[in-house]
Amino acid sequence: MDSLIYALGVIVFFVGLMGSIALHEVGHMWPAKKFDVKVSEYFIGFGRRLWSVRRGETEYGIKAIPLGGYVKLVGMLPPAKNAPVETGDADHPTRVRSSNTGMFTQLVADARASEYEQVQPGDQNRLFYRKPWWQKLIIMSGGPLVNIVIASFLFGALIMGIGVPNATTTVDLVSDCAIPAAEAPRECTAQDPVAPAVTAGLRPGDVITSFNGEAITDWEQLTGLIRDNDDGNAVIGFVRDGEQRAVTTDTLVSAREDLEDPTRTVKVGFLGVSPTLSYEREGPVTVVTTMGSLIKATGVAMVDLPARMVGVVEAAFGAQREQDSPMSVVGASRVAGELASAEDASWRERVSDVVGLLAVVNLFVAVFNLIPLLPLDGGHIAGALYEALRRGIARLRGRPDPGYVDVARLLPIAYAVGLLLMVMGVLLVYTDLVNPVRVG
């Protein structure tokens, strides 16, 4: 049964992720068509075609490698200035010839030429680069904005529908031993000290009411008192079967996750109890504040990504994989399966975890695509904004219109970034197969 639930979690997450990618590309395609940009291809996946169908001038289909998708907007690169053309004129080419030499120069020239292979007579005003900057901005922002909308919808369904998990003062689990945070999750060994909660005789279902004489009102308060107690004496008051009781034990010092910075561990007092969760529905304000805090956290994660990829490389060769390590589609799907089949978890918790994971991935995809580098959406967005700025300054100074921004000049950078992304993708998939992130 667990294996079936695991497989169901993987499938549901993977299908949801592919659906998110499909909608991301619709976020580009729909405004492009509305602004009369010629769209020749819409594909989910990369590599070899598995299936496709043509509707009008656009070919829709699925490719073999499910690691993304793309929409082909014809004319994203403008022709080179003074480039010879086979038909038309310099402003309205239908096919660009090139006799450039040099590796990067020829790559750029070939890329320009390929842009016009599907340009037909009458398409000149439908080329992407000829559109006003604000239309380019809307088209290229559409994909990331769709992912943000998806994340907002999923978080809204969780927060306002299923509810937000809040830790109560009722004990859910009692740890058998104290395992340092950096080594979790693993089984207890003979070298691990017995958890104080075990020696005190605490059980699941006990409601903790006091700690060293201080009345307990919530789990956060109790956590702080336990951590501050180090290895001192602890008198614990609790209710079991409607009867008020008290036990005495000594907490012990253990390496636990820093509550302020989860990437660090600190030596604090440890008792060995986990809380029962109570789900409470919240309103739209909570959804907005949650999205804001998560967008900020995702931006910080982007900055830290290069350093965290070093940990992935080490994990690929046998080092311990961090719990918050970057993952590929393979790793995230695997985590979804483990969340869906987690022991001692209710169906509400399992659904919340899988849906929450999908929402976080959508948020990551949105923020990542807004990085202002080609070939990411953010690179084209930056180009559109720069074009608006350059033309605006020229207009204010009474100078001639400088024309369209030639993003083709940045193609060497785009190729380097694309190669880096491919290497990262292959490394993440390999590491997710040989040393996956485990759900504790």
- Separation CA 436–CA 328 (nearest Å): 10
H helix runs in 166-239, sequence order:
196-200, 219-228
Question: 317-336: buried (b, 16+ CB within 10 Å) or exposed (e) per residue?
Answer: eeeebebebbbbbbbbbbbb
CA distance 14 to 424: 20
**Paired tokens of 238:** 């609790």
Separation of alpha carbons 207 and 438, rounded Å: 30
- Active-site residue, selected from the candidate residues 25, 41, 338, 387: 25
- Nearest Cα to 24, choosing from 423, 353, 361? 361
Identify each DSSP E strand in 90-232 by its residue range.
Answer: 92-93, 164-174, 207-211, 214-215
CA distances 23 to 18, 44, 69, 152, Å, are 9, 10, 10, 14
DSSP element (H, E) containing 269: strand 265-270
User: Do β-strands 164-174 and 273-280 pair in parallel, antiparallel, or remain unpaired?
Assistant: antiparallel
| DSSP-assigned letter for residue 43 | E
Q: Which among 160, 161, 158, 166 has a CA at the least distance from the CA of 362?
A: 158
For the question of residue 86 being annotated catalytic, the response is no
What are the backbone dihedrals phi and psi of residue 9, each rounded to the nearest 5 degrees, phi first?
Answer: -60, -45
d(Cα 397, Cα 209) in Å, to the nearest integer?
Answer: 73
Contacts of 94 (CB under 8 A, 6+ apart): 85, 86, 87, 88, 116, 119, 120, 121, 123, 124
Report yes or no: 294 and 360 within 8 Å, Cβ to Cβ: yes
Which of 271, 254, 439, 435 minimizes the C-alpha distance to 344?
A: 439
Active site residue ranges: 25
